[in-house]
Structure 1
Amino acid sequence: MQERLKILLVSSEVDPFAKTGGLADVAGSLPKALARLGHDIRIIMPRYKQIKNTEYLNDMPVEMDGHLETAIVRQAMLPVKGGEADLKIPVYFIDNYKFFYREGLYGHIDDGARFNFFTKAVLSALPKLDFKPDVIHCNDWQTAMLPLFLKVKYEDEPFYKNTATVFTIHNLQYQGRFPKDVLITLNLPEKKFFTPDQLEYWGQVNYMKAGILYSDLINTVSDKYSLEIQTSEFGEGLDGLLRKRAQDLYGILNGIDYNNFNPETDERIYKNFSLATIEDKRENKYALQEELGLPKKDVPMISLISRLASQKGLDLLANVINDLLETNVQFVLLGSGEDRYQHFFSELKIRYRDKAAIHIGFDADLAQRIYAASDIFLMPSRFEPCGLGQMISMRYGTIPVVHATGGLEDTV
């Protein structure tokens, strides 16, 4: 076997504890794969108010803007299905009422300070947990300050002497930009760090930039996207910096947990099926039609499960969906996002009530039933770092029709 590593995955969201998107799926499934390979993998994330049933471990003071905040460390276990033995991954939670007991994970005016506190608490907690990682794996802007803080504040700390950092860019569009006074909550001098060659970006502090500058290695979630973000078209203003670090930048394709997404055993779908019993997939379509109030017909069912945002290419779909629904098909949508798209698809439901079922919001169980029931799955994204929907749809025998970009081109 390869060398057994001690790995800490740091993420702002992890399925099944807290989720807003694909980051949580990856943060919840990648550690399981690493555990099956024999590595000592652990996870750390904020404890949001909806997270229950955690065990108190310890607490510690964390300096923030000249005063002390308390970080409470809690723990739960993440079971690992599939493999020769039953495994459980320790999941640590950083708990603080002021910063994390909010409605929603993100979108708060003090998000910069919130995740600075999280970063500091993570590095303070590890010695108390007696877990000395070989690799700290950071994900997206919410954890991007950790590599910087590790190198600047802990460079002489023996505990972290041989710890390396990996920074994964799941979506470069979301960079975490905040006013320069956010540096105070990291105790970093403005004169040194608020410069164009450091963290300054158009008059703000750019967290994503910190992760790119200070992590030992960088990866994105597909080969194609790792090349795309080095261009002005997809680089979101950071393409020059990414080109400078090209020798440390890798594309590693995301994957899905085949134990979680398995049509033979999935308890969330109407009828289980396999390649040998693929005809049973049709029963899922009929049952979904009944659930959603669509006529029970053996016609092509086209589905879209997506955040309703411009990135997802919904303007392309809006241009053709009326013509499409004039043909003998049914259309099912699950998602939420920008008001203009929510309004557009809600009106579409009224106009084509016998052909279109529109569910504004997100329901994980309904999503599984849609994957299992559909014939065609749409992903017309303008850009897509990787995407998981196309992989899930193929797992359930549903044909993905995608825009040839990023991870969609790598996987379909």
Structure 2
Amino acid sequence: MAHAELHHDRPPSISVTRRQSILFVTSEIADYVKAGGLGEVSAALPRALRHHYDVRILIPGYRQVLSQIGSVEEIARLPASFGIPACGLGRGMTKDGLTVYVLLCPELYERDGSPYVDPFGVDWSDNDIRFARLGLAAADIACGNGDPLWRADLLHLNDWPSGLGAAYLAWRGEHIPTILTIHNLAYQGIFERDRLSSLGIPDAAFHINGVEFYGKLSFLKAGIFYASHITTVSSTYAQEITRPEFGCGLDGLLRTRARQGRLDGIINGIDPSWDPAKDPYLVSRFSAENFRGKRANANNVRRSFGLDLSNGPLFAVVSRLVHQKGVDLAISAAETIVSQGGQIAVIGQGEPRFEAELHALAQRHPGSVGVKIGYDEGDARRMYAGSDFLLMPSRFEPCGLSQMYAQRFGSLPIAHKTGGLADTIEDGVNGFLFGAPCVHRFTDAIRRGLETFRSRQRLSAMRRAAMNRPHGWDRSASKYRQVYERACQTAAYV
């Protein structure tokens, strides 16, 4: 009887399923430091996934991170290994509550410059050690040797700086699932063979089926070879990188991963701050239902860039000024734009030769071409908001964010049909695409844009289509969840 009463008084059992723990490993995050699109994705994707997973971020403790993150508690010491120094593992939090693990190693990370280069634009000579430290820390945390109260069920690695994370797990015989996202295959983290021992890479791994890449070692190849699953940032780019012309020497391995069902393309989204109805940087806000405010932003851009006030079309270039981005094509096409009454505003920095050529272009066409070397967030947002067209003749573009920013702000992108540009622009509907990356094809697309500008009804229809295109992270995050699930299921049977 007593036993029955005890059973009756016991609270009903409730099955609680623990949310999976995801460690998102990145070399940059827009909250604190960014050099490109990876920083934007690292800020947005974990936030889009946080409702479904216990997702946390791991990043090196650069000076920019430590100065902005606020309180950081050191929760562990990660030991030295081979030539990789010991470091502290700090735990902090973003303003909206995302947990961020920070590698505390002043000798590696607390420097002026960007995450990858010194103030003069030269790669740090110890980048192999700096980012091997990141990959090794990711593996340690996944194995339960970091935060004593948390361990990762899955590592989400990003680009070459974290690529060794998957390899270190494999060399330990651990079967923790790993996802590697390739944001740009052209950056591979290539180092000399004599660095193997310093990085703790087994001699047997220096092989075509391992980290070896044309006699050197590649962090990115290590990630591709050892990761459970590979993603890249658009479906078209996922196909392109399996071909020699886009594969950067890794197309054979990537074709193998595609045949195995271990390569997916998932287009990036953009964060909700890109809303012309709410953006605090704009001088006049607007929407797809009423975009009259574009004119005030256009006039602001014209004044800021030294352009004449005009009723003609305004073209924007917001880009790194490098060969990949087709800056030379934009310079060559400028004569066509100016001769048709158009104006061009350019913001960005990059190769000195392109910076010089753009300054010379502006001097040849005062009042019609304006150039600012550098980057300013407010200027960029007002350029998207005020321009009629965005020039984006990239020779290759894994995903691209600028075309989506432009579309959201009612500026029609004119872009090469490649990578994420092909996946996000519908030709003649919400932008213009051209085939081969040459001046002739590019100027043909520009002329189609100019014809559209002269038809206010058609221009308005295309602007609305561009602004109403889905731009958020929901669909992309759902696809990442499917990849996570497949990777975890596969690891369970290894």
CA contact under 8 A between 1:169 and 1:219: conserved in structure 2?
yes
Q: Measure how far apart 1:38 and its partner are.
A: 3.0
CA RMSD, 1 decimal: 1.8
Find the counterpart in structure 2 of residue 63 from structure 1.
80
Instruction: Tell me: CA distance 1:114–1:67, structure 2 relative to 1, closer, same or farther (3 Å).
Output: closer
Pair 1:261 & 2:297 matched: no
Match of 2:285 in 1: 272
Counterpart among 82, 104, 110 of residue 101 in structure 1: 110
Alignment correspondent of 1:117: 133
- 1:289-344 per-residue CA deviation (whole Å, 9 max, x = no partner) reads 22222222222110011111111112222322223223211101111111111111
- Which residues of 2 match residues 218-367 of structure 1 at below 5 A? 218-246=230-258, 247-257=261-271, 259-367=272-380
1:5 Cα deviation (Å)?
A: 3.0
Alpha-carbon offset, residue 347 of structure 1 = 1.1
1:212-236 per-position Cα deviation (integer Å, ceiling 9, x unaligned): 1000000110110001000011111
Q: d(CA) in 1 for partners of 2:184 and 2:82?
A: 30
Contact map agreement 2:184 2:398 (CA 8 A) in 1: yes
- Kept in 2, the 8 Å contact 1:301–1:375? The answer is yes
Amino acid aligned to 1:109? S
Per the alignment, in what secondary structure is the counterpart of residue 98 of structure 1? helix
Q: 2:26 aligns with which of 6, 11, 25?
A: 11
Mapped contact 1:57–1:75 kept (Cα < 8 A): no
Query: More deviation in 98-107 or 214-223?
Result: 98-107
- Separation in 1, partners of 2:345, 2:81: 47
- Distance in structure 1 (CA, Å) of the matches to 2:398 and 2:47: 22
Paired residue total: 394
Q: Are the aligned partners of 1:334 and 1:362 in contact in 2 as well (CA < 8 Å)?
A: yes
Q: Which residue of 2 aligns with 1:82?
A: none
Q: Tell me the distance in 2 between the aligned counterparts of 1:10 and 1:68.
A: 19
CA contact (8 A) 2:337 2:343 kept: no
Superposition pairs of residues 4-153 of structure 1, within 5 angstroms: 4-35=19-50, 37-51=51-65, 52=67, 53-65=70-82, 68-79=85-96, 88-102=97-111, 103-106=113-116, 107-125=123-141, 127=144, 128-129=146-147, 130-153=149-172
Q: Following TM superposition, by how much is the alpha carbon of 1:363 offset from its aligned partner in structure 2, in angstroms?
A: 1.4
CA contact (8 A) 1:229 1:239 kept: yes
Unaligned regions of 5+ residues in structure 1, if any? 80-87, 156-160
What is the alpha-carbon distance in structure 1 between the residues aligned to residue 180 and residue 84 of structure 2? 29
Can you list the C-alpha shifts for 1:235-290, whole angstroms capped at 9, x where unaligned? Answer: 11000011111120011111111x21111111111111112221111111112222
Give the aligned partner of residue 200 of structure 1.
Answer: 212
Report the Cα distance in structure 2 between the residues aligned to 1:231 and 1:262, rounded to whole angstroms: 37
Whole-angstrom CA distance in 1 between matches of 2:71 and 2:336: 52
Residue aligned with 1:142, SS:
helix
Contact 2:305 2:372 in 1 (8 A): no
Give CA deviations for 1:126-173 in whole Å, capped at 9, x if unaligned: 633222222210000000000010121262xxxxx5x31100011111
Contact 1:62/1:121 (<8 A) preserved? no
The residue identity in structure 1 corresponding to 2:160 is W
Compute the TM-score of the two structures, normalised by the length of structure 2: 0.77
Distance 1:186-1:281 versus aligned 2 partners, 3 A rule: same
225-234 vs 283-292, which moves further:
283-292
Aligned to 1:83: none
What is the identity, as a one-letter code, of the residue corresponding to 1:241? L
Deviation sequence 1:351-394 (CA, Å, 0-9, x none): 11201111111112221111111110111011111101111111
Gaps (5+ residues) in structure 2?
Answer: 1-16, 117-122, 426-494
Whose radius of gyration is greater, 1 or 2?
2
Contact 1:78 1:90 in 2 (8 A): no
Report the alpha carbon displacement of residue 186 of structure 1 after superposing the two structures with TM. Answer: 2.7
Q: Deviations over 1:147-204 (max 9, x none)?
A: 010121262xxxxx5x3110001111111100113222332222x1222222111221
Q: 1:374 to 1:253 in 2, by over 3 A?
A: same
What is the SS of the residue equivalent to 1:337?
Answer: coil
Deviation at 1:78, TM superposition (A): 4.5
8 Å contact from structure 1 (residues 224, 406) kept in 2: yes
1:95 partner letter: L
SS in structure 1 at match of 2:335: helix
Q: Is the 8 A contact 2:159 2:184 kept in 1?
A: yes
The structure that is strand-richer by fraction is 1
